[in-house]
Amino acid sequence: MNRILTAVFLASLTYTGLACAAQQVSSPAGKVKVGVVSVSHLLTVDEVEHALSSKADAAGATSYRIIAVGGQNRMFGVADIYK
């Protein structure tokens, strides 16, 4: 029984955390640009996307649009953030 309650509790924390995170958008229609975030020295595109999402969320953005990703041995990324 304790395991079930623990699993439900952890699942609710995960769901709650996702509900507050900034959402990636392809078109920022109706949104107001509030800044730019960037990351660098990462190994994969997935790491870049996650880091940009985290930075957008930390900046209080409700959404973000990735405008650049690149690199060879180390990846970088840039995103506009919106409210």
Q: Where are the domains of the chain?
A: 22-82
44-58 pLDDT, tens per residue?
999 999 999 999 999
Mean pLDDT across 63-67: 97
Assign domain 22-82 to its CATH superfamily. Flavin-binding protein dodecin (3.30.1660.10)
DSSP 36: E
The closest of 81, 73, 80, 82 to 40, measured between CA atoms, is 73
pTM metric for this prediction = 0.73
Task: Report how far residue 34's alpha carbon sits from residue 18's, in angstroms, rounded to the nearest whole number.
Answer: 21
Cα torsion 83, 48, 17, 25: sign: positive
Residue 21 binned pLDDT confidence (cut-offs 50, 70, 90): confident
